[in-house]
Structure 1
């Protein structure tokens, strides 16, 4: 009887241990960011991955980027880009497409055409396409309406996911005109701009965002060495989380 009881307790111990481990284990999605400096400035992909550690879905991110690139450059393999090869071999769950910042304004038809080609190609290799809606230049907020409209059309046409970063930025600036989302050029994202955008990516993809996030994020290089310990104050974090949730309503 004592022998049987011991096995019952042992079985219960392993059952509870496995239950706890399964509850703590994160689901994982492999995400490829395709774009230019609007993607790699302030380490947006890595920041997205770090923030996702605080949800139930871990986003493992990789990038195919170069400065000034549009999606046609990526599609045609220009400027040393190997985006299609990376998609073919990467076993990604999601591929995020970001057009050059003025591409939707200057040549919407070209953008719509290349998104269609990429969306088909991405699905052929087992992933889902997402579109990264960028923001208007700091001094030209009126651009946002066109940018968002064209991205939304592309998303509808291709049944693609969409991350409304530009809309989140516009809302943040409306609620706080002094917020520092841009660097000095009035175009690229500051550290805080990248944080807001990363929070939006996490919420859009995982359908989850915690009410609180840590203040410190260690940015690392390809070898895993810490190259920057980045800090955000609690009020900025709370504001970004609020804006994201209002954008996604």
Structure 2
């Protein structure tokens, strides 16, 4: 005897429902597994306009490598570590949660100034900030920036980018020794790229701030440092040729620096 058509429809509906529920449970289980294996980091960025464009790019790069970064940025234009050390907002941000890392970036010229000036204008304030960072349970990181495209010609008429980078490196190494902090060697990656291919421009029109290439390179250096992987999958970047992106990634990976 043939079963009623309504019975067959009910049976098909029941089977489809079971399949849907099973699929949902499998997806939910996979999502939970992925979340368990995904590394989560929290980062506070303290600096100025050099730091401002980086966190979003860093977040995108590490995300496709299994790490999720939550971050906050305090980057008023031209600010020094002294200004940040005297800012209630900055000090409160350091203690507002248990950050994994707090990145400190000094004003772009100050670390390249003579040692006597650095002792007065940088070290006491860098130490105050790193002390507060450690009290809050986080690890301080120093963002070694890049020399300006034509050097610091405002203060040294015959300066060059490379000469300024050498002074910046010395300045940040001394800050690192004073504060017992790690350096993220972004500026050295910029110097390496200039030595390898002078046709790759990393600067905006002002010869100071990073263009898209510069932001990508800087973010890659941070991504390698924060995630600690020997390899990184890198997302395609609009406006950056594939060969250029590969070269930037290679140089970012090659750099390690200890205080």
Q: TM exceeds 0.5?
A: yes
State the distance in 2 between where 1:185 and 1:124 align. 38
Tell me the residue number matched to 2:133. 122
Tell me the residue number matched to 2:157. none
Q: Could you give the per-residue CA deviations for residues 73-92 of structure 1, whole angstroms, max 9, x where no partner exists? A: 11112xxx711111111321
| Pairing of 1:195-214 with structure 2 (within 5 A) | 195-208=216-229, 210-214=231-235
Aligned length: 218
Tell me the residue number matched to 2:253. 245
| Pairing of 1:49-60 with structure 2 (within 5 A) | 49-60=59-70
Task: Assess, with a 3 A threshold, how the Cα gap between structure 1 residues 19 and 58 changes in structure 2: closer, same or farther.
Answer: closer
1:133 maps onto 2:162 in alignment: no
The structural deviation recorded for 1:160 is: 1.4
The runs of 5 or more residues in structure 2 that have no matched partner are 1-24, 151-159
More strand by share: 1
Tell me the residue number matched to 2:54. 44
Q: Could you give the per-residue CA deviations for residues 92-150 of structure 1, whole angstroms, max 9, x where no partner exists? A: 11100000000112331121221111111101011110000001011121111111111
Runs in 1 of length 4+ with deviation above 4 angstroms? 17-20
1:27 maps onto 2:14 in alignment: no
Tell me the residue number matched to 2:94. 87
User: What TM-score, normalized to structure 1?
Assistant: 0.80
The answer (yes or no) to whether the contact 1:55–1:210 under 8 Å persists in 2 is: no
Say what the alpha-carbon RMSD is for the aligned residues: 2.3
**184, 188, 191: which one pairs with 1:170?**
191
Tell me the residue number matched to 1:226. none
**78, 90, 95: which one pairs with 1:68?**
78
The structural deviation recorded for 1:27 is: 1.0
Q: Greater shift after overlay, 31-40 or 19-28?
A: 19-28
Q: Could you give the per-residue CA deviations for residues 158-199 of structure 1, whole angstroms, max 9, x where no partner exists? A: 221210011110001100111110001100011110100000
State the distance in 1 between where 2:57 and 2:89 align. 23
State the distance in 2 between where 1:105 and 1:54 align. 36
Tell me the residue number matched to 2:174. 153
The runs of 5 or more residues in structure 1 that have no matched partner are 1-12, 217-229
Secondary structure of the residue aligned to 1:90 is: coil
User: What TM-score, normalized to structure 2?
Assistant: 0.77
State the distance in 2 between where 1:64 and 1:27 align. 24
